[in-house]
Amino acid sequence: MPLSRLLAALCILLLPANMGAQELLDPPSVVLTDVPFELTLQGANQTSTQYEVRSADGAILAEGTILPEGVLVVTDLEIRSTEQLPLEVLIGDHSDELDPTLIPGWFSVLPPVLAILLALIFREVITALFAGVWLGALAVAGFNPLKATGRLIDQFVVPALTDADHVAILVFSLLLGGMVGIVARNGGTMGIVESVTPFARNAKRGKIATWAA
């Protein structure tokens, strides 16, 4: 009897784990209108799993089978209007509701355009980049300004600073900028200008001298 009870308990414990394996992995928080996006689905551990992706109006956007212990990437999914949201993702007997923020495709070019314009107007690159990233975070946060400020820190700034390659680029840029500043303070920039000034005798040579300096 103790052995049979132990086996029954193990079966009960393993069953939820097998059921819980059917899930939607890393769902997107933002989707662009009429721009294809992907969904990553994980099936059951022991058997093949049927899946469906349905829109709010009942249309089936995708369907198929996930192999045992498999992960399937469903591609070429498109949403044309908010009337199709939220999406219902059925994986076997497991159901997930996906309600991403839907924004027009042209909005995706606004963050870099804003950063470039602010950098040209105010000549302050860091502030311009910060504003551009904040505008992108605004879309991720569902156009909530306060929530966007929080997402700017925990989803963009902090993960970027924890990446070794990003930190290496940041340190290199700071060191390069510091070296240029030291050279300029020591008169190095003026020395370069004075060395090429005799060559700039006309407009054409002046342009070449400016490029060389």
Greatest alpha-carbon span in the chain: 104
Share of the chain above pLDDT 70, in %: 89
Residues 76 and 127 grouped into a single domain: no
Residue 83, strand partner residues: none
From the CB of residue 207, how many other CB atoms can be counted at a distance below 10 Å? 11
**Digit-coded pLDDT (tens) for 85-138:** 999 999 988 899 999 989 998 998 999 999 999 999 998 888 999 999 999 999
- Rounded to whole angstroms, the Cα distance separating 28 from 40 reads 10
Average pLDDT, the chain: 84
Q: Do 115 and 129 contact (CB within 8 A), yes or no? A: yes
Q: Are residues 67 and 123 in the same domain?
A: no
Predicted structure pTM score? 0.62
Same-domain pairing of 127 and 97: no
Amino acid, res. 191: G
Does some domain include residue 30? yes
C-alpha angle 55-51-66 in degrees, rounded to nearest 5: 145
- Write down which residue in 79, 103, 127 finishes a domain: 103
* CATH code of the domain covering residue 84: 2.60.40.1930
In a domain, 135, yes or no: yes
Domain count within the chain: 2
Instruction: Tell me if 3 is assigned to some domain.
Output: no
Asked if 59 contacts 97 with a C-beta cutoff of 8 angstroms, the reply is: no
Rg of the chain taking only CA atoms, in angstroms? 28
What is the distance of C-alpha 188 from the center of its chain?
42
Give the residue numbers spanning the domain of 26: 22-103
